[in-house]
Amino acid sequence: MSFLRAFLTNSTKLSASPASFLLDMVAEEVHDMNKTANARTATQRAIAGLTSLALVAGGLTVIPHAAAEDNTATQCIAHEQRKERGQGAISANQSTYKPGDVVEISGTGFAKRVHRDTGEQLEDTFLAVKLDSNKADWPKDQSAGDDFAYQGGDTPTTLIAPGSVLDEDGNFTIKVVLPAEFTDKFQEGKHVITVLGGDDNGPQVSTSVDIWVNESGDATQPCGAEGPTEKPTQPKQDDNKADNGNNANNGNNQGNQDNNANNGNNNQDGNKPDNGNKPDNKPADQANNGNNQANQANQNNQGNNKPDNNKPNNDNKPAEQQSKATGEAKATVTAIDNRRGKKGDVALNLSLTNFPKGEKVTVTFNGQETKAGRGGAITVGEDGKAQGSVTISEGLAAGKYAVKATAKDTSVEIPFEVTPAGAVSNNAATGSKVEFHAAGLPKDAKVTAVGTEGVNWLKNQEGTADDKGQVTIKDIQVPVDAPFGKVISFTYTAGGETKTLETNTKVNASTESLNVDQYSGVKKELPSGLYQSAVNDKTGHVFVTSAQGTNKSTIYKLDAKTLDVVAKNDALEKDGEKFYAAFGVGLDNNKGLVWVTNTQQNTVSVYKQDDLSHVKTFPKGSVAHSRDVVVDEQTSLAYVSAASGDEVVVFDANKNEPVRRIKLPGFERVMSLEFNQETGELFATSLNAPKAAKIDVRNNDQVTIYDLPKDQVESASGIAYDPVSKNIFVASQGSGNVVVVNTESKKVVASIPTGAGSLNAHYNKADKRVYVTNRGGGTITVIDPATNKVVANLPAGTNPNHVSVAGDGTIIAVNKAAAEKNGERFDEVYTYKYNGAVTQDPGKPGKPGDRNSLEDFSSKLRDPANLPSLRNLLATVFAVLGLTTIFAGALSAMARFNVIPNSWVPQQLRF
């Protein structure tokens, strides 16, 4: 109620009781404040009204107008979708909800969660679900839905859906719970739910769906999908009492007078974006003289058949005609061959509306049917909507195109645009030779530069795009001093214009082998699917887990010296349906037990070490996305990380349920665990939050959190602890490095580039070194904790996944090479043991094939062909100088450090 109306209603009390009149006026405004969504506006009206009262009493007349928002209706909120990217589309099971409702989200056509650079299988994958781009918070209690874990500590802005929700075709259905009440962050109107991927190093995707939320959940009511975009706050019988002479609408215009001053026939939906999803029996939108032209700009890529309800209509008659079919398409170009597609593939994510329900959709390009995407055939739902993906494999140059979507007797042309994409091979490791690949370029475009920060790596090289917009430039040398972690850009010229775009590749650490001759070891192949390993020093056995989805899973028992298979057992089948696949592994060597994580069932199982027979499996859902498991041999308690949660769950083999849960504040997806058996300190990392933690499990689970630098840590995964320096070493997949943090000062000590996809780390107390597996780099990087420098780089095949350490200092690494032989695929197990040689500072790596200068000099000295001249040179130099003593000492030192052969030194001077 406006203050003027309140004044007129209560004016009879003014002369009798001014105080009573004033109180009644304030009460009216307080009543309005309680009913309106904007309390600040009501307060302004009250203040303005009281000011008017004072002026009236003084003999002046004013019209109260506290603020521009002084209308009799509240505008519904309208959040907008963020820019979409990647493969996949989502839809909701209905358009309009009320607070606290469960929203069922269906996804189609999502790419498989494999590494976006290498195409290899990832161990831990997930999708993020956001509400209004973090402007609103999800309720923490998601038990009525799929009970996903959330990010953000005390502010749950993001829900985490494990990658296991995706089926083999890239489809999923998930349930999330809306906030239970309206707040300043969550108001009535249109909201946006977004599903994102990429933080797990999988394919990047961002796709959204609009939903509407009002008090009733009725789509036809105010703030619903088909209702008015304003919510009346009072009856309108007095609304045509003008206060500025502009309301000549005969009561038809319901508020928003400043925005809709065109004529008196404004419909309540005039300012509402029209997405073509309204039922056929809804009156046509009656926008004023083309006001909805602005809305048409929001219907990007909707084809040639645009809805008739965007046309001006002032007749107030129902829409007899049905809305026409519409479609949107978003194109993603593959720049380099990988497991997701071939170079030049154009993946189209399609969203269709007003198609005949239940019908299969055929999508053609240039008259030829396209290949169905991962989601398979596209079928129209009961709501007339369909989503899915198709692939055009012929390769397209940059430009605008269209596909035709047809279902029964309904067809629509859907435009899409191809834009360039680029990538660099070999993870752009420093010092390596790489290839640059691009697709979706304009025909005849010339690529003139590839590099970082204005440094062009092309040396008298360039590439010209073919008719399909594709180009390859080979033998590009990545500088040894290329800036680690920087995104690589490329520049091309076409049609007189020059453009620079980013690739999807960053500069990574060198993959060149270093000091391999200081190690000895063996390598063996096992059937594909290897994940982790653990060693029993007392028995000399290594236990290795292998999982191939839900089809096959094996636990291997190997001889630690030879890696020969001693025993094996397939993880037991449950209820005759699916294998409880074994992923993580930990040992209780005192009780002779093997603990494994059943990640897909969110639980753990126990087996006997001697014959691998099954002991027990804990209930499903005991730990969200169980990943790592370690055992405290003093208590025989097993500690399991929740890779879809913020906790470590504790198990006792003698119990049937978890014995306790250890919450890690601010953690988002707990990853690797490292346990110090001497002190009872358990260390963990968080994949999504740049944090690490120390848990003193023998001191009431006291937790210490270490904040990691966001600019240096991306997707922290592995962790190792050096008890001498008291430093933790955190390996991060996304940033390809190890960050060293002192556990006492909590300060960053060093940041060490290691290799693409740094995944796992382990401290070796025998040789006092830290070993890091670099999945994308194919190496194991060795760090000396005393200097925090790289002292060796060991080859580990394709996709090294995990490293463990035996008591004698032997390290065991498993990879996921998936090398094909005779129709079967095999992974590899490596062992390395440090032989104790003195390691020189590697300095900066040279070009591929270059040798360390000291090693090169040493090799020349050892060459028999150079022996006479080198001996003469040494004798002459030292004879001239007359420094016999220094000469003898120098010879001894050079032999000690393997610069010259020991046999060159006289017997009495040898060490």
Q: How far is 675 from 89, CA to CA, in rounded Å?
A: 42
Question: Above 70 in pLDDT, residue 715?
Answer: yes
pLDDT confidence tier of residue 471, bands split at 50, 70 and 90: very high
Mean pLDDT of 844-873: 46
Provide the 10 A C-beta neighbour count for residue 388.
27
Query: CB of 887 within 8 A of CB of 845?
Result: no
Q: Which pLDDT value is given to residue 200?
A: 80
Mean pLDDT of 772-797: 98
Report the CATH fold assignment for 347-418: Immunoglobulin-like (2.60.40)
Query: What's the fold here for domain 520-834?
Result: Methylamine Dehydrogenase; Chain H (2.130.10)
Range in 5-14, 29-38, 300-309, 522-531 the model is least confident about: 300-309
Q: Measured between alpha carbons, how far is 341 from 347 in angstroms, rounded to an integer?
A: 9
User: What percentage of the chain has pLDDT greater than the value 70?
Assistant: 71
DSSP state at residue 429: B
Mean pLDDT score across all residues of the chain:
80
DSSP letter assigned to residue 375: T
Strand-pair partners of 741 = 728, 748
Q: Per mean pLDDT, which range of 281-295, 378-392, 754-768, 861-875 is the poorest?
A: 281-295
Length of the chain: 911
Strands 96-97 and 205-213: parallel
Residues paired with residue 463 on neighbouring β-strands, in sequence order: 447
Query: CA–CA separation, 669 vs 200, rounded Å?
Result: 11
Structure confidence at residue 220 (pLDDT): 87
pLDDT tens readout for residues 336-386: 987 778 999 999 999 999 999 999 999 999 999 999 886 678 999 988 999
pTM of this structure: 0.61
pLDDT at 300 exceeding the cut of 80: no
- Per-residue pLDDT at 843: 53
Confidence of residue 147 (pLDDT cuts 50, 70, 90): confident
| pLDDT (0 to 100) of residue 135 | 87
Q: Quick check: 509 and 755 in contact, CB under 8 A?
A: yes
Cα angle 808, 809, 810 (rounded to 5 degrees) comes to 100
The C-alpha atoms of residue 753 and residue 761 are separated, in whole angstroms, by: 14
Residue 635: CB atoms within 10 A of its CB come to 14
Q: For residues 489 and 500, is the Cβ–Cβ distance under 8 A?
A: yes
* DSSP bridge partners of 328: 351
Among 68-72, 237-241, 753-757, the range of highest mean pLDDT: 753-757
How many angstroms separate the CA atoms of 293 and 299, rounded? 10
Strands (E), 86-204: 89-92, 96-97, 102-108, 126-131, 149-151, 158-162, 172-177, 189-197
Rounded Cα distance, 249 and 871, in Å: 109
Here the tokens at position 331 are 């194109």
DSSP state, 514?
B
- Average pLDDT over every residue of 709-722: 96
- pLDDT at position 365: 96
Most confident of 21-25, 306-310, 542-546: 542-546
Greatest Cα pair distance, the chain, in angstroms, is: 126
Contacts of 124 (CB under 8 A, 6+ apart): 163, 200, 625, 627, 643, 669, 671, 687, 717
Pairwise CA distance, residues 271 & 264, whole Å = 15
Listed in sequence order, the residues at least 6 apart from 559 whose beta carbon sits closer than 8 Å to its beta carbon are: 540, 541, 542, 566
Whether 441 shows a pLDDT value over 70: the answer reads yes
> Based on C-alpha coordinates, what's the Rg of the chain?
34
Q: How far apart are alpha carbons 254 and 71 in whole angstroms? A: 9
Give residue-wise pLDDT tens across range 566-598: 999 986 656 555 678 999 999 999 999 999 999
CATH number of 421-506: 2.60.40
Contact 551, 579 (CB under 8 A): yes
> Top-level CATH class of 79-346?
mainly beta
Which of 136-150, 271-285, 508-522 shows the lowest mean pLDDT across its residues? 271-285
For the segment 826-845, the average pLDDT, to the nearest whole number, is 76
Q: What is the pLDDT of residues 665-675, one digit of tens each?
A: 999 899 999 99
Burial class (CB in 10 A: 0-12, 13-18, 19+), 791: buried
Nearest-angstrom CA–CA distance, 645 and 661: 11
pLDDT of residue 889: 53
How confident is the model over 591-624, as pLDDT tens digits?
999 999 999 889 999 999 999 999 999 999 999 9
Residue 440: count other Cβ atoms within 10 Å of its Cβ: 27
Give the residue with greater pLDDT, 75 vs 194.
Answer: 194
Q: Is the pLDDT assigned to residue 108 strictly greater than 90? A: no
Angle at 416 between CA 413 and CA 421, to 5 degrees: 160
* Residue of 620, 618, 543, 633 lying closest to 584 (CA atoms): 543
**What would the pLDDT profile of 534-564 be if each residue is shown by its tens digit?**
999 999 999 999 998 667 899 999 999 999 9
The tokens describing 668, both together, are: 């988002």
Give residue 320's pLDDT.
30
CA-to-CA distance for 554 and 527, rounded, in angstroms?
A: 10
pLDDT (tens digit per residue) in 227-245: 888 876 544 444 443 344 3
Of residues 570, 588, 601, the one with CA closest to residue 651: 588
- Of 338-342, 507-511, 863-867, where does the model show the most confidence? 507-511
CA distance 546 to 557: 11
pLDDT digits (tens, 9 = 90+) for 476-505: 999 999 999 999 999 999 999 999 999 989
Q: Is the dihedral of CA 200, 206, 209, 212 positive or negative?
A: positive
Residue ranges of the chain assigned to CATH 2.130.10.10: 520-834
Q: What pLDDT digit, counting tens, does each position of 29-49 carry?
A: 444 444 444 444 444 444 444
Question: Nearest 5°: CA angle at 114, between 113 and 118?
Answer: 155
Q: Residue range 772-799: average pLDDT?
A: 98
* Beta-carbon count within 10 A of 14 CB: 17
Q: Where in the chain is the domain with CATH 2.60.40.1930?
A: 79-346
The 3-class SS string of 62-101 reads: CCCCCCCCCCCEEECEECCCCCCECCCEEEECCCEECCCC
Q: What does the pLDDT read at residue 894?
A: 53
CA 275 to chain centre: 29
CB 78 within 8 A of CB 229: yes
Q: Which two tokens stand for residue 169?
A: 């075709």
Averaged pLDDT, 731-737: 96
Two tokens, residue 483: 């800036």
Contact 638, 604 (CB under 8 A): yes
